[in-house]
């Protein structure tokens, strides 16, 4: 398109089909389009490709919008915001597609194909056996009126096929460079079903043309449809529907476990899982941006604003990207540490109440939470970890974790706990330091270093061997409750 190169003329689109839960591959596509649009002060069009009534659902549509809002990926045209090319749901644009299909046929760019599936399959098998390309053979390109009449008399209803040019198609992919597709590999293809329903192959490029999309950035799985779409664009341009061909950039595959393509069905690909575990939108997007792109050689953690400033589609790598959950978590942990303390405390709220939190709502103590939150902020990988880290504050009795108990309560633990209790009872509880001194001193009496001495205290008080810094935790829990829990542990150990 003539205007593609001018900064504010950039128009990209995110155009998912509302089928099932959004997955991380889809989010990566949305993110790269969004970052590209924002970097160029362009326009992000959000279009819903819901022409497949059997697979699309309103629930999935609502989830898509909700996900985009949660991620903070805003759109300039699309559902709920409208725009000059409305409507942005393809199910509401059916007349447009019917009209374009009719015009394509009139101009000779498309034709009715009466072949049945059985006939197609038979000819495909023959071609394969003879070592010829096995795509559609063009049989119905040149049907006589008599043949058409005969087919109709048999009761056949045709599909509409687009007539591919007989020359190779070459284009420069923004990620992969120059690519050429030869005609044998790109046969004539269906654009309207026998029942009149338009297919993705038609509606997607027609809308990209009508909505004046300048850059199509999408997953590599769609690369094979690009030569078809380019040919269709030429036809649409001739008809005055399109204004040239957009630029294409295909984002690399995302590989999961065992070097297999990450599939929608893999549990780690579901966006809702990340949300429920308490990934921050910024942390998740930061990680997903690294699936094919990098900010700089020595910096993996950055903000969305930094990404927008630096993003260039030319820097996207064509090689498959490997999805690494551990790395995603590490990056998320970094984003958690970077939050304003107040924002962190607020962001944890959902995990401090039912159904995540096992304590009664009235047991929650805001002051205790505010006091402990800073110590948790530096230690969480995902926000949902907060529940287990602070439950000792809000449960009447700490959780019973047998493994922790077995690990920490050794021979001599009873004596150590007794001494520690005594020293803690006499300590100054206005700061964590004297509590540490008390446990240190108790350990010394029994020939134990601090680490060994504090383990039984921690398990007695919090139920677990690992958790937030112990003495800060004791102080927030308070003298009375701490001593009562040590007493209960002593009793369990036989007094
Ligand atoms: N609705 C298509 C999909 O979700 C869009 C493909 C494209 O970006 O062209 O796969
Ligand atoms: Zn045919």
> What are the pLDDT digits (tens) for 333-367?
999 999 999 999 999 999 999 999 999 999 999 99
149, part of any domain: no
460, part of any domain: yes
Count the domains in the chain: 3
Specify whether 175 is located in the same domain as 62: yes
Q: Is the CB of 484 under 6 A from ligand 1?
A: no
- Tell whether the model's pLDDT for residue 5 goes beyond 70: no
Query: Per this entry, what is the length of the chain?
Result: 495
> What are the pLDDT digits (tens) for 23-65?
999 999 999 999 999 999 999 999 999 999 889 999 999 999 9
What does residue 234 show for φ and ψ, rounded to 5 degrees? Answer: -60, -45
d(CA 347, CA 383): 8
Q: Looking at the annotation, which residues are catalytic?
A: 264
Nearest ligand 1 atom to alpha carbon 225:
9
419, part of any domain: yes
453, part of any domain: yes
Q: Is the CB of 159 under 6 A from ligand 1?
A: no
DSSP letters spanning 133-165: --S---GGGG--HHHHHHHHHTT--PEEEE---
- Evaluate if pTM is beyond 0.75: yes
d(CA 248, CA 176): 10
- Binned at pLDDT 50, 70 and 90, residue 8 comes out as low
Q: Which of 342, 360, 384 is the last residue of a domain?
A: 342
| The pLDDT of residue 228 | 98
Q: Is the CB of 60 under 6 A from ligand 1?
A: no
Q: Is the CB of 218 under 6 A from ligand 1?
A: yes
Pairing relation of β-strands 189-192 and 159-162?
A: antiparallel
Q: Answer for the pair 121, 136: CB distance below 8 angstroms, yes or no.
A: no
> What are the pLDDT digits (tens) for 89-134?
999 999 999 999 999 999 999 999 999 999 999 999 999 999 999 9
- Binned at pLDDT 50, 70 and 90, residue 6 comes out as very low
Specify whether 304 is located in the same domain as 437: no
By most ligand atoms within 8 Å of CB, the mutation choice from 29, 222, 248, 251 for ligand 1 is 222
The helix/strand/coil state of 247 is strand
Q: Is the CB of 222 under 6 A from ligand 1?
A: yes
Nearest ligand 1 atom to alpha carbon 13:
8
| The pLDDT of residue 3 | 42
Q: Cα-atom radius of gyration of the chain, to the nearest Å?
A: 31
3-state secondary structure 208-231: HHHCCCCEEEEEHHHHHHHHHHHH
Residues with CB under 5 A from ligand 2 (ion): 113, 115, 139-140
Q: Mean pLDDT, the chain, as a whole number?
A: 96
29, part of any domain: yes
Which alpha helices (DSSP H) does 290-427 contain, by range?
304-310, 325-338, 341-347, 366-377, 386-394, 402-408, 413-425
Specify whether 232 is located in the same domain as 273: no
Here the CATH number for the domain that contains residue 456 is 1.10.10.350
365, part of any domain: no
Q: Which of 226, 253, 280 is the last residue of a domain?
A: 253
The DSSP output letter for 298 is T
48: containing domain: 11-108+165-253
């Amino acid at each position: 398109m003539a205007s593609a190169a001018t900064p504010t003329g950039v128009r990209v689109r995110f155009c998912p089909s509302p089928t099932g839960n959004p997955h991380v591959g889809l989010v990566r596509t949305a993110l790269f389009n969004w970052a590209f649009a924002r970097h160029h002060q362009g326009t992000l069009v959000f279009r819903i490709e819901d022409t497949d009534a059997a697979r699309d659902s309103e629930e999935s549509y609502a989830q898509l919008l909700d996900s985009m809002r949660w991620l903070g990926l805003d759109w300039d045209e699309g559902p709920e915001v409208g725009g000059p090319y409305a409507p942005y749901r393809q199910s509401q644009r059916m007349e447009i597609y019917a009209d374009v299909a009719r015009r394509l046929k009139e101009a000779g760019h498309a034709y009715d194909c009466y072949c049945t599936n059985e006939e197609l399959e038979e000819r495909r098998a023959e071609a394969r056996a003879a070592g010829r390309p096995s795509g559609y053979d063009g049989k119905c390109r040149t049907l006589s009126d008599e043949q058409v009449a005969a087919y109709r008399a048999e009761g056949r209803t045709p599909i509409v096929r687009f007539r591919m040019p007989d020359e190779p198609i070459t284009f420069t992919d923004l990620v992969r460079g120059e690519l050429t597709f030869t005609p044998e590999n790109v046969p004539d293809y269906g654009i309207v079903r026998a029942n009149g329903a338009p297919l993705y192959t038609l509606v997607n490029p027609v809308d990209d043309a009508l909505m004046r999309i300048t850059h199509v950035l999408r997953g590599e799985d769609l690369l094979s449809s690009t030569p078809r779409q380019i040919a269709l664009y030429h036809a649409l341009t001739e008809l005055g529907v399109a204004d040239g061909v957009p630029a294409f950039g295909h984002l690399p595959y995302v590989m999961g476990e065992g070097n297999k393509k990450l599939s929608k069905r893999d549990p780690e690909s579901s966006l809702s899982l990340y949300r429920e575990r308490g990934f921050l939108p910024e942390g998740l997007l930061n990680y997903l941006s690294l699936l094919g792109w990098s900010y700089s050689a020595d910096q993996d953690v950055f903000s969305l604003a930094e990404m927008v400033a630096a993003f260039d589609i030319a820097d996207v790598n064509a090689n498959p990207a490997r999805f690494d959950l551990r790395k995603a978590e590490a990056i998320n942990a970094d984003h958690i540490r970077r939050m304003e303390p107040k924002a962190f405390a607020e962001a944890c709220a959902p995990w401090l109440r039912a159904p995540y939190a096992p304590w009664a709502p009235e047991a929650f103590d805001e002051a205790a939470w505010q006091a402990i939150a800073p110590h948790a902020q530096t230690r969480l990988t995902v926000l949902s970890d907060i529940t287990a880290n602070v439950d000792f504050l809000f449960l009447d009795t700490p959780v019973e974790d047998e493994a922790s108990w077995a690990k920490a309560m050794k021979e001599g633990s009873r004596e150590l706990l007794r001494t520690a209790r005594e020293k803690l009872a006499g300590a100054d509880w206005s700061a964590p330091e004297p509590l540490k001194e008390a446990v240190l001193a108790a350990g010394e009496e029994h020939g134990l270093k601090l680490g060994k001495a504090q383990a039984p205290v921690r398990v007695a008080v919090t139920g677990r061997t690992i958790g937030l810094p112990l003495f800060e935790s004791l102080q927030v829990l308070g003298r009375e409750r701490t001593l009562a829990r040590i007493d209960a542990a002593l009793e369990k150990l036989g007094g």
